[in-house]
Chain A
Amino acid sequence: MSTTDGAPLSAHVDAITDAGEYLARSSKPLRLPDGREIGAISEVPRLYVTRAFARLAHAPVLPYATRLEMLAKAADLFENAVLEGQSIDDYLDLVGLCAGVPRAVAQASIAAIARTLRALPDTLAQEIPRGAVTSLDDPRVREGAAYWARQGRTLAVLASGNTPGVHGLWPSALALGYAVAVRPSSREPFTPQRLVRAFREAGFTSHVALLPTDHEVADVLVEQADRALVYGGQSVVDKYAADPAVLTQGPGRSKTVITDDVDWRAHLDTVAASVAGLGGVACTCTTAVLVEGDRARAEEFGAALAERLAESEAGEHRTELPLVTARQLAQYVERVGQGTTAHGRTDIVETVAPDTAVLHPVVRVAADAKAPVLGVELPFPCVWIAPFSRADGIAPLVGSLVVAAITEDMEFAQRLLDEPGIANVYVGAHTTTWMKAGVPHDGYLSEHLMRTKGVIR
């Protein structure tokens, strides 16, 4: 096993706190998608976690401006510095191999995280309620104002490892004055490891921790923290549904809807990019497309989309998976897709290296927009299509992180915006994966972490 420049690839991920890096006696192997072992990740016990939180809760709160400066400095360190002996090239090699993505994709994710950190002064300026101040010295306090206050001292993050991009969100908690502990995913723990190192180097010496644990101890982070941000599947969403301190980032079930007042042929590229962009793994990737009209129209659209995906696939990166996982996913598609029409390639598993495979896009058409299969979100380009009618209401679009509405009907767009079960609405020729710093992803994180308090002095 060697990297692009021939150096041996090995990886160690240990806990990081204000006390430094801690190599635990308990650990588990880190593996590439093909099963090869490249190192180990420490697993710290409950007592280590609770002691780390006791210290995080007492980390000094630095001034707002200082925090923002430190975050910008951290962005530079994250992108360029040698951190604990790790160069940016070493890091990109690790991320690319573990996530099964090409270096260019890893590099783009990394650049996006750094951009997000640098943009925090602007994005937080947009997030803060207009009537709120961040300092008792603000002259507005003399007249009486709202103070933007933290709802707690500590944030726990149970991260996922499907894309480095998930680590673009939680650093804003540092800007807001929280102390943050991240439990990395063992699939790709290198991004939070590097971020935490960069934050410490930039001055957040006692405000951030990396706490790799087994699944059982992961709950301890949530129990100990004042607020939590938890990534996972539907079971995770259900588990924490009743806990207002926990913000879950579950399946996105993002959808594209095309009304009959537009010509879908003009938007095939947009939809194909929504389905297959970011490797099809992101929660913003389109899982279902609702095409206004009858089933025949939906089938026609499905055939055209399958063709377009196949054309664009050649130039696209495809996420590499363990062969076993790829086969399981293909079987799962067959099981849940019973009764749907398949378009495009049906043998979707392609072995590209020993024990490693890629999955070709799945395009399937269901009989109607109520079919439960429309909510089946899988970590590769897989899209379910169904006929739809505006007259029947927007129920099939509820429960979506993003709805891209390719429509001219602004009254329809307004109904989508007014629906609480839809987090984002992009109207017109936009992909569901569209994003921009300052535009919320699932609400602003600050909605979960902050509140206003009345203040006068």
Chain B
Amino acid sequence: MSVPGAPDWSILDIDPLQQTVTDADAYVRTLMQWHFGTETGSPFWLRRRADLDFDPLTDVKTVEDLAQFPNVVDEFRDIAAEDLVPRGLGDSPKIAAVFESGGTTGRPKRFVMFEDWFTRYLAWAGRKAASGLGGSGINLLATTPSGPHMIGEVTVRQSHALGGKRFTIDIDPRWVKKLIERGQTDELRAYVDHLVDQTADILVTQDVGMIQTIPILLTKIAERPELVDLVRSKVKRIAWGGAHMDPDTRAILREEVFPGIPIVGGYGSTTILSVAVERKEEQPSGLATFDPFSPYVFFRVVDPDTGRPVAHGERGQIVMNHITKFAFIPNNLERDTAIRVPAEDGHIGDAVADVAPVKSFDGTNVTEGVY
């Protein structure tokens, strides 16, 4: 998007190889020009700028300086999707979808997924979590939310990359949360069993090479010996996300139930329009450790009381940042806690390990549910 006489925006182009941004502070400065320039910014941020007690164009020079921004995601419950489109993307940038957060802590928030970002982020994720199965033609079984939730569309792309067919079972995570809030544990159990039964039917009748699902489904599959046998004989890779998987369940699944089958987690959020990918190398801690697509997405792990970073190896609450030309969503204090782990060399922010839900969030009880 280069116009003669205009600033050089090329540093803002997304590089799946993570090589073009060598100076993250310079990237941030250009990004401020983009989001707060009247020609390029979104109606939301151009309007919101007036309420800031600093000037992003002059006061934000480094990644650290982004900490001055307030957390605005609560406003994403009400704003029109059109207002989130940066003008600099042109008159009709290709939009893959409008996704919504799960509604874990109140009404859902909406985010615009641009095709350009989606494709490049998926290229990065495919490279980071390389399965060796791309183009192999294996079929994907996805028992995940669809509709407003990002993961459903991700599995469409996943399946294209694999080159096989996609079998799907739908999950309604918001209904699950309602059941939990109402204490209808029998209904909840019946719903989860319903998901397992539908998943089982596909496992039995179809040639499934990869499974993408949520942790409780893997636990429930592991509890049915006939399904364990089917997975062991057919499935080459298991991917999970959407909810917390405790480290003991992870270890039992990997070591005892499905030995030899890679079980790979993703830690995503609609608020970062992406999923952080589990590190391939087993960590000394034995905990699942996730890296986001830096510098476009980065995490900080902080003490929720002071907002300061916790020490490496300590647990804190996760602050998420999405800082691309497609969206600017800084300083979002997430519902989850995690252990702070150093980012990979050359990347900003933190990696996170052993992600777990916090008990109470902003006065609203957190109902994690299945997604």
Whether chains A and B associate is: yes
**Chain A residues close to B by CB (< 8 Å):** 24-26, 44-48, 50-51, 54, 219, 223
- Knowing A45-B246, A45-B249, A47-B249, say if A25 contacts B219 (CB, 8 Å): no
CA distance A24 to B185 in the complex (A): 26
Q: In the assembled complex, which residues on chain B have CB atoms less than 8 Å from the CB atom of A45?
A: 219, 246, 248-249, 252
- Is B223 in the interface zone, CB < 8 Å from A? yes
Nearest to B286 among chain A residues (CB) is: A25
Q: In the assembled complex, which residues on chain A have CB atoms less than 8 Å from the CB atom of B248?
A: 24-26, 44-45, 47-48
B 220-236 contacts with A by CB, 8 A: 222-223
CA distance A24 to B247 in the complex (A): 9
- Knowing A46-B219, A47-B222, say if A26 contacts B252 (CB, 8 Å): no
Say whether A47 contacts B219, CB under 8 Å.
yes
Could you give 6 example pairs across A and B, Cβ below 8 Å?
Answer: A25-B247, A25-B251, A25-B286, A44-B248, A48-B249, A54-B223
- Is B253 in the interface zone, CB < 8 Å from A? yes
Q: In the assembled complex, which residues on chain B have CB atoms less than 8 Å from the CB atom of A44?
A: 248
By CB atoms of chain B within 10 A, which of A26, A45, A50, A219 has the most? A45
Q: In the assembled complex, which residues on chain B have CB atoms less than 8 Å from the CB atom of A51?
A: 222-223, 252, 256
Nearest to B222 among chain A residues (CB) is: A47
Q: In the assembled complex, which residues on chain B have CB atoms less than 8 Å from the CB atom of A219?
A: 185
Say whether B219 contacts A26, CB under 8 Å.
no
CA distance A54 to B223 in the complex (A): 9
Q: In the assembled complex, which residues on chain A have CB atoms less than 8 Å from the CB atom of B287?
A: 25
0/1 string, B242-267, CB within 8 A of A gives 1? 00001111011100110000000000
Say whether A48 contacts B252, CB under 8 Å.
yes
Q: In the assembled complex, which residues on chain A have CB atoms less than 8 Å from the CB atom of B256?
A: 51
CA distance A51 to B256 in the complex (A): 10
Q: How large is the interface on B (under 10, 10 to 19, 20 to 34, 35 or more residues)?
A: 10 to 19
Say whether A47 contacts B286, CB under 8 Å.
no
CA distance A50 to B185 in the complex (A): 18
Nearest to B218 among chain A residues (CB) is: A47
Shortest CB–CB separation between residue A425 and chain B, in angstroms? 38
CA distance A223 to B186 in the complex (A): 11
Q: In the assembled complex, which residues on chain A have CB atoms less than 8 Å from the CB atom of B223?
A: 47, 50-51, 54
In terms of DSSP, what is the predominant structure of the interface of chain A? helix
Q: In the assembled complex, which residues on chain B have CB atoms less than 8 Å from the CB atom of A48?
A: 248-249, 252
Say whether A47 contacts B247, CB under 8 Å.
no
In terms of DSSP, what is the predominant structure of the interface of chain B? helix
Say whether A46 contacts B252, CB under 8 Å.
no
Nearest to A22 among chain B residues (CB) is: B248
Nearest to A24 among chain B residues (CB) is: B248
CA distance A210 to B247 in the complex (A): 20
Q: In the assembled complex, which residues on chain A have CB atoms less than 8 Å from the CB atom of B185?
A: 219
CA distance A229 to B341 in the complex (A): 43
Nearest to B253 among chain A residues (CB) is: A47
CA distance A44 to B185 in the complex (A): 20
Q: In the assembled complex, which residues on chain A have CB atoms less than 8 Å from the CB atom of B247?
A: 25-26
CA distance A135 to B247 in the complex (A): 46
> Pick the contact of B249 from A46, A54, A223 — CB < 8 Å?
A46
By CB atoms of chain B within 10 A, which of A24, A26, A46, A50 has the most? A46
CA distance A122 to B257 in the complex (A): 44
CA distance A47 to B219 in the complex (A): 6
Q: A24-B248, A48-B252, A219-B185 are in contact. List 8 more A-B contacts (CB 8 A).
A: A25-B248, A26-B246, A45-B246, A45-B248, A46-B219, A47-B249, A50-B223, A54-B223
CA distance A76 to B253 in the complex (A): 39
CA distance A44 to B257 in the complex (A): 16
Shortest CB–CB separation between residue A183 and chain B, in angstroms? 16
B 260-312 contacts with A by CB, 8 A: 286-287
Q: In the assembled complex, which residues on chain B have CB atoms less than 8 Å from the CB atom of A223?
A: 189
Nearest to B354 among chain A residues (CB) is: A25
Nearest to B245 among chain A residues (CB) is: A45
CA distance A25 to B356 in the complex (A): 13
Nearest 4 A/B pairs, CB to CB = A25-B247, A45-B249, A47-B219, A50-B223
Nearest to A217 among chain B residues (CB) is: B246
By CB atoms of chain A within 10 A, which of B246, B247, B251 has the most? B246
By CB atoms of chain A within 10 A, which of B219, B249, B253 has the most? B249
Q: In the assembled complex, which residues on chain A have CB atoms less than 8 Å from the CB atom of B249?
A: 45-48
Nearest to A216 among chain B residues (CB) is: B185
CA distance A152 to B222 in the complex (A): 23
0/1 string, B171-195, CB within 8 A of A gives 1? 0000000000000010001000000
Nearest to A50 among chain B residues (CB) is: B223
Shortest CB–CB separation between residue B247 and chain A, in angstroms? 4
By CB atoms of chain B within 10 A, which of A25, A51, A219 has the most? A25
CA distance A199 to B189 in the complex (A): 34
CA distance A261 to B325 in the complex (A): 92
Shortest CB–CB separation between residue A187 and chain B, in angstroms? 20
CA distance A82 to B71 in the complex (A): 57
Shortest CB–CB separation between residue A221 and chain B, in angstroms? 14
Shortest CB–CB separation between residue A406 and chain B, in angstroms? 44
Q: In the assembled complex, which residues on chain A have CB atoms less than 8 Å from the CB atom of B222?
A: 47, 50-51
0/1 string, B331-342, CB within 8 A of A gives 1? 000000000000
CA distance A223 to B189 in the complex (A): 11
By CB atoms of chain B within 10 A, which of A24, A46, A47, A50 has the most? A47
CA distance A47 to B223 in the complex (A): 7
Nearest to B256 among chain A residues (CB) is: A51
Shortest CB–CB separation between residue B289 and chain A, in angstroms? 14
CA distance A50 to B256 in the complex (A): 13
CA distance A24 to B287 in the complex (A): 12
Q: In the assembled complex, which residues on chain A have CB atoms less than 8 Å from the CB atom of B251?
A: 25
CA distance A48 to B252 in the complex (A): 8
CA distance A214 to B256 in the complex (A): 22
CA distance A46 to B220 in the complex (A): 10
Nearest to B252 among chain A residues (CB) is: A47
Nearest to A46 among chain B residues (CB) is: B219
Q: In the assembled complex, which residues on chain B have CB atoms less than 8 Å from the CB atom of A47?
A: 219, 222-223, 248-249, 252-253, 257
CA distance A54 to B224 in the complex (A): 10
CA distance A221 to B86 in the complex (A): 53
Shortest CB–CB separation between residue A311 and chain B, in angstroms? 47
Q: In the assembled complex, which residues on chain A have CB atoms less than 8 Å from the CB atom of B189?
A: 223
Nearest to A25 among chain B residues (CB) is: B247
CA distance A355 to B337 in the complex (A): 31
Shortest CB–CB separation between residue A171 and chain B, in angstroms? 28
Q: In the assembled complex, which residues on chain A have CB atoms less than 8 Å from the CB atom of B257?
A: 47
CA distance A50 to B248 in the complex (A): 13
CA distance A25 to B250 in the complex (A): 10
CA distance A335 to B232 in the complex (A): 61
Shortest CB–CB separation between residue A104 and chain B, in angstroms? 39
Shortest CB–CB separation between residue A232 and chain B, in angstroms? 17
Shortest CB–CB separation between residue A54 and chain B, in angstroms? 8
Q: In the assembled complex, which residues on chain A have CB atoms less than 8 Å from the CB atom of B246?
A: 25-26, 45
Nearest to A51 among chain B residues (CB) is: B252
CA distance A45 to B219 in the complex (A): 10
Nearest to A19 among chain B residues (CB) is: B256
Shortest CB–CB separation between residue A13 and chain B, in angstroms? 15
CA distance A24 to B249 in the complex (A): 10
CA distance A206 to B251 in the complex (A): 23
Q: In the assembled complex, which residues on chain A have CB atoms less than 8 Å from the CB atom of B219?
A: 45-47, 50
CA distance A306 to B286 in the complex (A): 59
CA distance A219 to B189 in the complex (A): 12
Shortest CB–CB separation between residue A447 and chain B, in angstroms? 27
Shortest CB–CB separation between residue A56 and chain B, in angstroms? 14
By CB atoms of chain A within 10 A, which of B222, B248, B251, B252 has the most? B248
CA distance A360 to B93 in the complex (A): 76
